[in-house]
Amino acid sequence: MEHIQVLITDDNDEIRAALRAYLESQEDMAVAGEAANGAEALRILGEKPVDVLLLDIIMPQLDGYGVMEELLHRPAGERPRVIVLTALNREDFIHRAMRLGADYYMVKPADMQAISARIRDAMRRGDPVGSDPIPFPAAGAHSIDDRLSNIFLSLGIPAHIKGYQFLREAVKLVLDNPDCINRITKELYPAIARRFSTSASKVERAIRHAIEVGWSRGRVESLNRAFGCRVATPEDKPTNGEFIALIADKLALEERQRTAQ
C-alpha cells in the first residue's frame, strides 16, 4: 500500500507528538516530517515528497499564511494539499486561508478521526487550488461530502460545532430518501441520533444552533446567490427542515443536470 505522506507543522511540541502518534497508527498514512515553524516546513517540502501539509497559522519565523503564499509560486502539481489546523476561528482568517489554497480549515481542538478523514478527502480531490477565492461549489464539483463541506463553509457554519456534522448527515439522508424530510421529528432526527449515539432532541437543537451561527455571520446572501433568487433574508431564518430541504434539493437538481449532459 502506498502511504499518504503527511508533514505536520505546528509550534506546539505536544500537538505535533499527538498528531504523529495518531497518524502513524493509520495503515494508509506516514509522517514525512515535523516542523515547528513555516520556514522549517518549506525546507522539508523542498527536500522530500509530501502529499498533505497539516498547517498551523500562528507560528514563529514564518506563519501559515506565509507558507501558503510561497506554495502558490510552485506549479500546481508540485504543491501538497493543505489542511489548516488552528485555534483561530474568525471568518476573515478562514477566507484568507481558502483564498491562498487551503483545502480544509479545521479549528482546534479537532477530533483525530476527523483530521484523518480530511487527509483522505484531500487526496481524493483533483489538482490543488490556486489563489482564487473559494466559490459556492459548482455542480458536479468533487464528492457530495466535499461539496457539503464547501457549502457550509461558504454559509459561515464552522466544522467544529456538533450541528455541522448533523446537518451533513441530514442532507445526505434526504438525498437518499427525499420523503424522510416530511417525517423530520419521527424519522430523520432519530436516524441521525442513532448514528452519533445521542438523542433526537439534541440533534434538533444542534442543527438549529448551526443555522443560527451562519445567520449571525451575515452569510444569507451566499445562499441567495447559490439559488439565483432570494430564498432567505437576515430576518427570516428557515426552519431546520426548510434549510435541509433547500440544500438537498439544490444538490439533487445539479446532479440530475450533470448526468443529463
Nearest to 206 by CA among 256, 158, 259, 151: 158
CATH 3.40.50.2300 fits 4-134, yes or no: yes
Nearest to 245 by CA among 169, 152, 155, 175: 175
Q: Where are the domains of the chain?
A: 4-134, 152-260
The residue with cell 448533523 is: 166
| pTM: predicted TM-score of the whole model, two decimal places | 0.53
List the pLDDT tens digit at each of the 261 positions of the chain: 589 999 999 999 999 999 999 999 999 999 999 999 999 999 999 999 999 999 999 998 899 999 999 998 888 778 899 999 988 877 778 878 888 888 888 888 888 888 998 898 888 764 444 333 344 444 444 467 777 877 787 677 877 788 999 999 999 999 989 889 999 999 999 999 999 999 999 999 999 998 888 777 655 565 655 555 455 565 667 889 988 998 888 788 766 666 655
State how far the Cα of 46 lies from the Cα of 73, in Å rounded to an integer: 13
Q: Which CATH architecture is the domain 152-260 placed in?
A: Orthogonal Bundle (1.10)
Q: Where does the chain have alpha helices with state H?
A: 13-24, 38-47, 64-71, 91-99, 112-124, 144-154, 162-176, 189-196, 200-216, 220-227, 240-260
Nearest to 210 by CA among 227, 197, 195, 192: 192
The answer to whether the CB of 118 falls within 8 A of the CB of 142 is no
Q: Output the nine-digit C-alpha cell for 212.
A: 443560527
